[in-house]
């Protein structure tokens, strides 16, 4: 009788006492997950958490050479409030960000809706072509647009067809931001179309068919179905555009070399931070600029999330 019980336990994979054998330590699900996550966590802590924390500490100090620093409290932040060049850079950055939001949200969304409609054949081919600018090196893009936006460039030639006089896009202060917005529009419209197309494809076709039966035309379907039901993807692209706008760095450098543009009209907050840190070697003040810029980005993002009802409780 005991022998039969033992054989039955062996067949069922349990011990004679009714307990399953313990798994080896490295085979436990929690341990396996931690092993795979550990490399990422180490890199994240070292290059993100530690770097951000160290930058915050540096913002309260005046760096006086290698390994030498002096604690200055809030002096660097007081300098931020009185830095005219910093205010110019911040104003340019905010104007650029607002300009890209006004262009890179509605225009790609409308184009995505058109590409998804039954009027357009070979939609995949068009999406692939529109995605190509994202894959192009930004340095190459800057060189090409330096030629396109020159006084005798193609853009002025096109505007001349409508009687618009030639503009000095790269030599005039108030045209520096529009020049960078034009460049950003060409570069990022395609990827935003991909994002919006993905969001629109999740809307059931039955809703459009029901709306058509009720007499709603394409425009009414767009406003009352596509736009409201694409709210999550619109929020996602808006936040990405805000991040990209405030991180403006390479564009002014490749267009003007110095990064400032005519009359500092193309100077961005990140370029100002870079100059302060690696040209003037004022690492403490540069860290303060970085902390303030991060706080501004966070505030803008929270405002957008609040406007989209991200924090609203589901009823």
Paired tokens of 280: 């003037």
SS3 63: strand
Q: What is the mean pLDDT of residues 22-47?
A: 82
Per-residue confidence (pLDDT) for residue 142, from 0 to 100: 83
String of DSSP letters for 269-314? HHHHHHHHHHTS--HHHHHHHHHHHHHHHHHHHHHHHHHTTTTPPP
243 Cβ neighbours under 8 A, 6+ residues apart: 297, 301
In the predicted structure, residue 273 carries a pLDDT above the cut 90: yes
Per-residue confidence (pLDDT) for residue 310, from 0 to 100: 78
Class of the domain covering 77-307: mainly alpha
Q: How confident is the model at residue 143 (pLDDT cuts 50, 70, 90)?
A: confident
The pTM assigned to this predicted structure is 0.84
Beta bridge partners of 62: 70
Q: How confident is the model at residue 152 (pLDDT cuts 50, 70, 90)?
A: confident
Mean pLDDT (the chain) is 85
Which range (64-68, 151-155, 270-274) has the least confidence? Answer: 64-68
Per-residue confidence (pLDDT) for residue 135, from 0 to 100: 83
In the predicted structure, residue 17 carries a pLDDT above the cut 80: no
248 Cβ neighbours under 8 A, 6+ residues apart: 93, 96, 97, 180, 268, 269, 270, 271
Q: What is the mean pLDDT of residues 109-114?
A: 89
Candidates 159, 147, 220, 151; CA nearest to 183 is 147
Task: Give the N- to C-terminal CA distance of the chain in Å, as an integer.
Answer: 62
Per-residue confidence (pLDDT) for residue 290, from 0 to 100: 93
Per-residue confidence (pLDDT) for residue 25, from 0 to 100: 66
Paired tokens of 313: 């409780």
pLDDT digits (tens, 9 = 90+) for 190-240: 899 989 988 888 888 888 888 888 888 888 888 888 888 999 999 999 999
In the predicted structure, residue 4 carries a pLDDT above the cut 60: no
Give the best-scoring range by mean pLDDT among 26-35, 43-52, 304-313.
Answer: 43-52
In the predicted structure, residue 2 carries a pLDDT above the cut 60: no
């Amino acid at each position: 009788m005991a022998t039969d019980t033992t054989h039955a336990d062996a067949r069922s994979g349990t011990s004679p006492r009714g307990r399953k054998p313990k798994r080896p330590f490295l085979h436990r699900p929690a341990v396996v997950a931690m092993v795979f996550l550990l490399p990422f966590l180490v890199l994240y802590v070292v290059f993100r958490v530690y770097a951000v924390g160290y930058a915050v500490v540096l913002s309260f100090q005046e760096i006086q050479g290698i390994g030498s620093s002096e604690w200055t409290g809030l002096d660097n932040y007081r300098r931020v409030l009185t830095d005219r060049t910093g205010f110019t850079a911040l104003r340019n950055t905010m104007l650029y960000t607002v300009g890209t939001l006004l262009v890179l949200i509605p225009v790609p969304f409308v184009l995505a809706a058109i590409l998804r409609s039954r009027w357009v054949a070979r939609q995949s081919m068009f999406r692939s072509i529109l995605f190509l600018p994202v894959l192009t090196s930004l340095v190459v893009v800057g060189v090409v647009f330096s030629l396109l936006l020159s006084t005798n460039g193609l853009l002025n030639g096109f505007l001349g067809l409508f009687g618009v006089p030639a503009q000095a896009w790269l030599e005039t202060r108030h045209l520096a931001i529009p020049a960078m917005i034009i460049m950003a529009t060409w570069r990022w419209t395609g990827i935003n179309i991909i994002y919006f197309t993905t969001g629109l494809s999740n809307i059931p076709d039955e809703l459009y068919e029901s709306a058509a039966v009720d007499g709603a035309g394409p425009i009414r379907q767009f406003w009352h179905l596509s736009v409201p039901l694409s709210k999550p993807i619109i929020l996602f692209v808006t936040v990405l555009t805000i991040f990209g706008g405030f991180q403006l760095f390479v564009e002014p450098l490749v267009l003007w070399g110095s990064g400032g543009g005519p009359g500092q009209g193309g100077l961005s907050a990140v370029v100002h931070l870079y100059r302060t840190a690696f040209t003037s070697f004022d690492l403490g003040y540069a860290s303060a600029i970085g902390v303030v810029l991060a706080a501004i980005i966070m505030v803008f993002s929270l405002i957008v999330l609040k406007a989209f009802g991200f924090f609203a409780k589901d009823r």
